[in-house]
Amino acid sequence: MKRFLTMLILAAMAVTAEARLISLWPYSKLAQESDFIAVVEVVSITKTVDHLTGHRNPELYQGKSARLKVAWVIKGEPTTEVQLPFFTYSSMGEPNGALFISFNEPDKHQYLVFLKLEGDTLIPVTGHYDASISVKVLQQDAFSRIE
């Protein structure tokens, strides 16, 4: 029994030893690092020819752009709409891979976005590879629609 428990613990440690380290991003850090914070809704999503480099084979990733309708700007210049470039996997994901934004069922959700300027483009404050940390899903309801 002792040998079994020892092997089980070693196996569990081996699995966790391969995990990718991800920085902690409490709301205070997200807000501090952001140039633009807002509550938004997705208007449309289109595929782009953008390539994500610096993380394995760029062919694994599909560039996309989300047109976002802005409800409330918390930090940054007031605007009614922003474009957000982002990435998804072209096919299947990878172990310990990216934390990409998922705009699943956008008609049922609003999003709290933390973005920074890169040149003249707004991107997720946590970068493209861990972008989902910069986008928080909010429940859509009939009382708080964006007009």
Distances (CA, A) of 68 to 10, 52, 71, 120: 47, 21, 9, 16
Structure confidence at residue 142 (pLDDT):
77
Structure confidence at residue 12 (pLDDT):
61
| 134, 30 contact by CB (below 8 A) | yes
| Strand 109-118, strand 81-89: pairing | unpaired
DSSP 105: S
Architecture (CATH level 2) of domain 26-139: Beta Barrel (2.40)
Rounded Cα distance, 120 and 109, in Å: 27
Mean of pLDDT values over 122-141: 93
Q: What is the DSSP string of 30-97?
A: HHHH-SEEEEEEEEEEEE------SSS-GGGEEEEEEEEEEEEEEESS--SEEEEEEEEESS---TT-
Q: Kindly report, residue by residue over 58-101, the tens digit of the pLDDT.
A: 778 889 999 999 999 999 999 999 999 999 888 766 666 788 99
Structure confidence at residue 13 (pLDDT):
58
Q: Kindly report, residue by residue over 24-66, the tens digit of the pLDDT.
A: 999 999 999 999 999 999 999 999 998 887 777 777 888 999 9
Which of 44, 43, 39, 103 has the alpha carbon at shortest distance from 76?
A: 39
Per-residue pLDDT at 16 exceeds 70? no
Task: Give 131 or 11, the one with higher predicted confidence.
Answer: 131
Question: Sorting pLDDT into bands at 50, 70 and 90, what band is 4?
Answer: low
Rounded Cα distance, 39 and 137, in Å: 10
Structure confidence at residue 47 (pLDDT):
94
Structure tokens at 36: 């633009």
What letter represents residue 45's amino acid? I
Per-residue pLDDT at 137 exceeds 80? yes
Structure confidence at residue 79 (pLDDT):
96
| 98, 62 contact by CB (below 8 A) | no
